Amino acid sequence: MFTTLVAAVPAKTKTAGYGATSASAPLAPFSFARREPLPQDVQIEVLYCGVCHSDLHTVRNEWNNATFPVVPGHEIVGRVTAVGSDVKRFKVGDLAAVGCMVDSCRTCANCKAGLEQYCDVAFVGTYNSPDKHLGGMTYGGYSKSIVVDEYFVLHVPDKTNLAGVAPLLCAGITTYSPLRHWKVSKGQKVGIVGLGGLGHMGVKLANAMGAHVVLFTTSPNKKEDAQRLGAHEVVVSKNQKEMDRHLGSFDFILDTVSAPHDLNAYLTLIKRDGTLTLVGAPPQPPTIEVFNLIFKRRQLAGSLIGGIPETQEMLDFCAKHKLTSDVEVIPIQKINEAYERMLRSDVKYRFVIDMASL
């Protein structure tokens, strides 16, 4: 006789959250199942969860990839409430964080290099990704608790401003990773395009790395705030004379803008062998003048969040330099209003949900 072996389904427990049941539905109270911790799992009470523009894109199905219901949230800071029998790095009571990923194949070359964000199979997102344990889709941090494999859980070294730490799990690592990869350091001239949720962290991080930081913005009224955040110069990109003063002078420019704009205007500002790296994603493909690349051997590149080791490195770096995101803390009941304000850029610079309000 042959016996068919079936993988055991983990025990489940209910948790409260906020989710959307369709692209046209507002976020509302939503109860759903989490798995009980498996041997390798860490269970976390969510204290704060940042609000990322990706949350809005997904909830409104603007990328045409949402599976409803959706519980967003991938900038999570919380406290460990239970650990599995095999967990070594966390204990009950520890502060812990979860970012954009909760799993990956772990066997491809990228995963083995600690670059899980580039997993050849595809990483498992904290929300709106297939849940291999319970079936259905993963649910994110707009909830009372979350259960995550220990490898994808991060230590929180800064215990003084947990709300400000939360957006580091996406906005922080999205800007830290390219600055680190392209070796931004003291003495370099670095540009940051845009002063939003990503850009304000780019300014802070590049300054902490020792670079001379220039902020590019279309809004002259952002000059004072940019300087407060660490920009040494502010250039209004609509002013051609201001732009021309910087021709061929940058080692690196990080472009955080997702609205349509002319990349050639920034390529001409880069010196020989310099790089323009995109972390924003405009809806239409950009038009590139190839000679802007050829004549100075410039590079146009992109970057996606960061792997787990680098994300921990970023959290440690931010704690050392006392860097957190500038945030506005809201109760979960104001999340739909926050989405509308986010669309109007009416926030400095990230909303963070105090999950005690749930």
Residue 2, pLDDT score:
41
Low-confidence ranges of the chain (pLDDT < 70): 1-8
135-167 residue pLDDT tens: 999 999 999 999 999 999 999 999 999 999 999
79-97 residue pLDDT tens: 999 999 999 999 999 999 9
Q: Which of 276, 272, 273 lies closest to 263 in space, CA to CA? A: 276
| Any domain includes 2 | no
| Any domain includes 6 | no
Kindly state whether residues 40 and 152 are assigned to the same domain.
Answer: yes
CATH number at residue 324: 3.90.180.10
Q: Which of 338, 336, 328, 332 lies closest to 16 in space, CA to CA? A: 332
Residue where a domain terminates, one of 302, 325, 345: 302
Here the tokens at position 184 are 């931004």
DSSP per position, 196-220 = SHHHHHHHHHHHHTT-EEEEEES-G
Q: How far apart are CA 57 and CA 42, in angstroms?
A: 28
- The pTM score is 0.96
Phi-psi region of 305 (alpha: psi -120 to 50; beta: other; left: phi over 0): left
Kindly state whether residues 60 and 149 are assigned to the same domain.
Answer: yes
3-class secondary structure for 73-84? CCCEEEEEEEEC
Q: How far apart are CA 126 and CA 104, in angstroms?
A: 11
Residue where a domain terminates, one of 271, 302, 333: 302
287-308 residue pLDDT tens: 999 999 999 999 999 999 999 9
One-letter identity of residue 260: P
| Any domain includes 327 | yes
